[in-house]
Amino acid sequence: MRHAIPAWSALGLAARSALAACAKKDPLYCDPGTPCTDPDRPFCDDQGEYAASDGIKHTCIPYPWDGGPSADAGPACTPGEWVLDTIDDRKVEAWPNLAVDSAGTVHVAYSVGHPGVLHYARGRAGSWMSMETPEAGGFYPQLVIDSSSILHLVHGGSPGGLRYLRKGVNDEDFEYELAAPEEAFDIAFDLDTANKPVACFLDGNAGGPAKCLERTVDTWEAIEPPRDEYTSGASLAFDSSNTMHFVADGLVYFSRTDDVWSAEETIGGAPAAYTPVAVDSDDIPHVAFPSGTLRHAYRAGPNDWQSDTVDGAVDADSPALFIDRDDVLHVAYVDLTNSNLKYARRHGDRWSTETVDGTATIPATPKLFVDANGAPHIVYFDANDEDLRYAYLCP
């Protein structure tokens, strides 16, 4: 199923300006795929907001357009401090998600309005380009960028259907497909080692049986789910040997190798919805989950889950987990005790925690991505103001 391709808001003129810049200012033209090489102008102004760009986007400049000594460049980024921003304030729904590409551009999927319409934004703090897609719903969007810089997005549609969108990170338009006609809830999504999309979800039309799909060359095929049903959010992740690690009902774990599911394992602790799973460089799965406090666990062996406390001082909720290329663990979560957004990082065996945003009245459903420089990016929903917020830790 295909839909009409949307156009970026006010993007036509910008695209023409970029082409003009390429023709007129080469080799000072730049984009995420063509970095600046002049040591006196090493940064690419994607927005045309730095004074030296003369309003033309994609121009090589001496300082980042959002930093540096010039007042025209915008607020400076202070290393070690969180940069806070609002991406959208138009009655945004919960369930945002994000990924960061190799050029440092942030890509965000989220829902706006009642009923929701899927929106997509890209950019960085202080400068976002947003588009409304023709996709009604936008529930549980899951977003991944593959090794070829292709962005893959799935979400639950309205009135029904699991929707799949795909585009290059620098492309303007998505390709659209209906992956499954069922009303999809509690979606888990990842790419296998061949960049093949795999999704599991609850079928809301039939009272909640679990279904899993994988995308072949041009179609979606059913694969056996780990069990017939689960009652709360699921997550999945692939390791380097293409084993799928799957967590559902908060703390129930399965793995799938060569199309065969393992026996069910219970991680332990109180059940919790939307327990995230991530895999380290040794192919060991880790989870983060609320249990009054915030806990972390990893699989030391079959039916052997070792756990520790991430933050024992607050009542935690909605953790998001990411393991970076150096096997550092990062967690974003909601501090229900103080109504704050918090962040934790594990150095060796020690966790450190800090408050990211104490201004959001009711922070909810944070999602986390750590870029190639080890800097965390978080998108989250303020349930009181109904806006979509973004936080970035300046490296």
3-state secondary structure of 339: coil
In this structure, how many other beta carbons lie within 10 angstroms of the beta carbon of residue 258?
Answer: 7
> Over the Cα atoms of the chain, what is R_g?
21
Nearest by Cα to 118 from 170, 46, 172, 174 = 174
The pTM (predicted TM-score) of the whole model is 0.82
Q: Where in the chain is the domain with CATH 2.120.10.10?
A: 82-181+258-393
Give residue for tokens 């979800």. Answer: 201
Instruction: Please say whether the beta carbons of 95 and 365 come within 8 A.
Output: yes
Alpha-carbon separation of residue 42 from 32, 38, 105 (angstroms) = 12, 6, 16
Supply the pLDDT for residue 373.
86
Instruction: Please say whether the beta carbons of 345 and 64 come within 8 A.
Output: no
The amino acid sitting at 1 is: M
Distance CA 235, CA 304 (A): 20
Rounded to 5°, angle at Cα 45 from 380 and 36: 120
Class of domain 82-181+258-393: mainly beta
Supply the pLDDT for residue 32.
59
Supply the pLDDT for residue 27.
59
Supply the pLDDT for residue 85.
93
Distance CA 105, CA 97 (A): 14
Alpha-carbon separation of residue 141 from 145, 368, 383 (angstroms) = 13, 14, 17
Supply the pLDDT for residue 106.
95
- Per-residue pLDDT of the chain (395 residues), as tens digits, is 333 333 333 333 333 333 333 334 455 788 756 778 777 777 788 777 777 777 788 888 877 665 544 444 444 678 899 999 999 988 888 789 999 998 889 999 999 987 789 999 999 888 889 999 988 888 889 999 999 999 999 999 877 899 999 999 989 899 999 999 998 988 999 999 999 999 999 888 766 788 999 999 889 999 999 987 776 778 999 999 999 999 988 789 999 999 999 999 999 766 666 789 999 999 999 999 998 899 999 999 999 999 999 999 999 999 999 999 999 999 999 999 999 999 999 988 899 999 999 988 889 999 999 998 899 999 999 988 889 999 999 88
Instruction: Please say whether the beta carbons of 201 and 185 come within 8 A.
Output: yes
Supply the pLDDT for residue 23.
38
